[in-house]
Amino acid sequence: MKKVSTAATKQSRNISQQKLTIGLDLGDRNSWYCVVDEAGQIQLEQRVRTSAKALQEVFGAMPRSRIALEIGTHAPWISRLLSELGHEVIVANARKVRLIGESRKKDDRLDAQTLARLARIDPELLYPVKHRSVQAQADLTLIRARAGLVRARTGLVNTARGLAKSYGERLRGCNVRNMNPEKAEGLSPELQRALEPLLSAIAELSERIVEYNERIENLAQQSYPQVALLKQIKGVGTLIALTFLLTLEDPHRFRQSRDVGCYLGLQPGRRNSGQSEPQLHISKEGDPYLRTLLVQGAQHILGPFGPDCDLRRWGLKLAERGGRNGKKRAIVATARKLAVLLHHLWVSGEVYEPLHNSSRTTVAAAA
Total domains in the chain come to 3
Rg (CA), the chain: 26
Alpha carbons 367 and 360: distance in angstroms, whole number: 11
Let me know whether 219 and 234 are in one domain.
no
Residue 359, pLDDT score? 66
Alpha carbons 291 and 236: distance in angstroms, whole number: 13
Label the pairing between strands 42-49 and 66-70: unpaired
C-alpha dihedral (267, 273, 279, 283), degrees to nearest 10: -30
Which of 18-27, 147-156, 248-257 has the highest mean predicted lDDT (pLDDT)? 147-156
Let me know whether 192 and 261 are in one domain.
no
Let me know whether 186 and 276 are in one domain.
no
Let me know whether 211 and 237 are in one domain.
no
Which is higher by pLDDT, 322 or 348? 348
Average pLDDT for the chain:
87
Which is higher by pLDDT, 148 or 108? 148
Count CA atoms closer than 13 A to 288's CA, side-chain side.
Answer: 2
**Is pLDDT at 2 greater than 50 in this prediction?**
no
Average pLDDT over residues 289-316: 94
**Binning pLDDT at 50, 70 and 90, where does residue 18 land?**
low
* Residue of 99, 118, 98, 94 whose CA lies nearest to 34: 118
Phi-psi region of 40 (alpha: psi -120 to 50; beta: other; left: phi over 0): left
Average pLDDT over residues 286-314: 93
Residue 149 domain-assigned (yes or no): yes
Query: End of a domain among 223, 247, 274?
Result: 223
**Binning pLDDT at 50, 70 and 90, where does residue 103 land?**
low
Residue 286, pLDDT score? 82
Let me know whether 116 and 165 are in one domain.
no
For a pLDDT cut of 90, what percent of the chain falls above it? 61
Residue 217 domain-assigned (yes or no): yes
Residue 365 domain-assigned (yes or no): no
Sign for the pseudo-dihedral over CA of 68, 71, 73, 75: positive
Let me know: does 284 contact 274? Beta carbons within 8 Å: no
Query: End of a domain among 223, 249, 283?
Result: 223
Alpha carbons 217 and 146: distance in angstroms, whole number: 13
**Is pLDDT at 238 greater than 80 in this prediction?**
yes
Residue 4, pLDDT score? 47
Range of the domain at 258: 229-358
Alpha carbons 116 and 107: distance in angstroms, whole number: 14
Residue 293, pLDDT score? 96
Measure the CA angle with vertex 13, ends 12 and 16; round to 5°. Answer: 90
pTM over 0.85: no
Let me know whether 233 and 219 are in one domain.
no
> How many residues are there in the chain?
367
Query: End of a domain among 194, 223, 252?
Result: 223
**DSSP code of residue 182:** G
Helix (H) or strand (E) holding 54: helix 52-59
Residue 7 domain-assigned (yes or no): no
- Kindly report which listed range (41-45, 115-119, 174-178, 342-346) carries the lowest average pLDDT score: 174-178
Let me know whether 201 and 258 are in one domain.
no
Question: Which residues are CB-contacts of 44 (< 8 A; sequence separation ≥ 6)?
Answer: 11, 12, 15, 33, 34, 35
Phi-psi region of 127 (alpha: psi -120 to 50; beta: other; left: phi over 0): left
Measure the CA angle with vertex 292, ends 288 and 293; round to 5°. Answer: 120
Residue 367 domain-assigned (yes or no): no
Phi-psi region of 173 (alpha: psi -120 to 50; beta: other; left: phi over 0): left
Average pLDDT over residues 203-227: 96
Alpha carbons 65 and 74: distance in angstroms, whole number: 20
Residue 12, pLDDT score? 46
Let me know whether 143 and 101 are in one domain.
no
Let me know whether 237 and 351 are in one domain.
yes
Let me know whether 354 and 235 are in one domain.
yes
47 bridge partner residues: 32
Let me know whether 235 and 293 are in one domain.
yes
Other C-beta atoms lying within 10 Å of the C-beta of residue 32: 22
Residue 26 domain-assigned (yes or no): yes
Give the tens place of pLDDT for each residue, 129-139.
888 889 999 99
Residue 10 domain-assigned (yes or no): no
Residue 170, pLDDT score? 87
